[in-house]
Structure 1
Amino acid sequence: MSAPLVVSIPHRLGRDEATRRLKAGLSRAAVNVPVLKVEEENWQGDRMMFRVRALGQVAAGHVDVADDHVMLEVRLPWLLQKFADVAQHAIRNRGHLLLEKK
């Protein structure tokens, strides 16, 4: 099995505000990526487990919310591994937008 894709996104919101924004933001973010469909999103405390589908492939992972950063870890099937660098960049950019102080 391949190594997971891990993305850490720093923030200055605190855990509660970051969690609130993420709960509202995942489905919205997926709307902007037509090839991505959120199949499952399950929150347990400060951890969200998720399953998404892209290009007919399923990827599952989790997001952990801390006081000063968010850590996303996802295992990509072999076909999506080819897009790991692009996915990592996109996740980091969208995460920063979502977690910017406003």
Structure 2
Amino acid sequence: MAKPVSITVSHDLGREAALARLQGGIDRIRDKLGLVKMQLVEESWSGNTLQFAVAALGYTVRGRLDVEDTLVRIEVMLPWVLAVFAEKLKLGVEKQGQILLEKPRA
């Protein structure tokens, strides 16, 4: 049985700036995934939505990222074998999202 994982990261950049940050930071995300033996195997933007797939431990996890005016919403379905990593995944994604969406200091 799959375990749904929902993650939200708030921001105050506005939708367009947040979208630009995320699209521009995808290479950093890809590098971070590589450090923990994961690989971004699918990435497809359509407007404010990213459909993605990440390969890890012999499984492919598919998800969706939606950029809104004040938050980014990420939804993934973890295979039951990977469900034990759900909380760790959630914390890691929240942290990296906050780093990417942090407003530059003046």
TM-score, normalised to structure 2's length?
0.90
> How far apart, in 2, do the equivalents of 1:83 and 1:26 lie?
22
Q: Which letter maps to 1:90?
A: G
Q: Which runs of 4+ in 1 moved over 4 A?
A: none
Corresponding residue for 2:61? 59
Q: How many residues align?
A: 102
Q: Looking at CA atoms only, which structure, 1 or 2, has the larger radius of gyration?
A: 2
Identity %: 37
Q: Distance in 1 between matches of 2:83 and 2:27?
A: 22
Deviations 1:23-81 (A, max 9, x none): 12233112123211000110111110001101221100100000000000011112211
Identify the residue that residue 86 of structure 1 maps to in structure 2: 88
Contact 1:57 1:79 (C-alpha < 8 Å) held by counterparts: no
Give the alignment's TM-score, normalised by structure 1.
0.93
1:36-51 pair list within 5 angstroms: 36-51=38-53
Structure 1 residue runs of 5 or longer lacking an equivalent are none
Q: 1:15 is matched by which residue type in structure 2? A: R
| Residue aligned with 1:82, SS | helix
Deviation at 1:2, TM superposition (A): 2.6
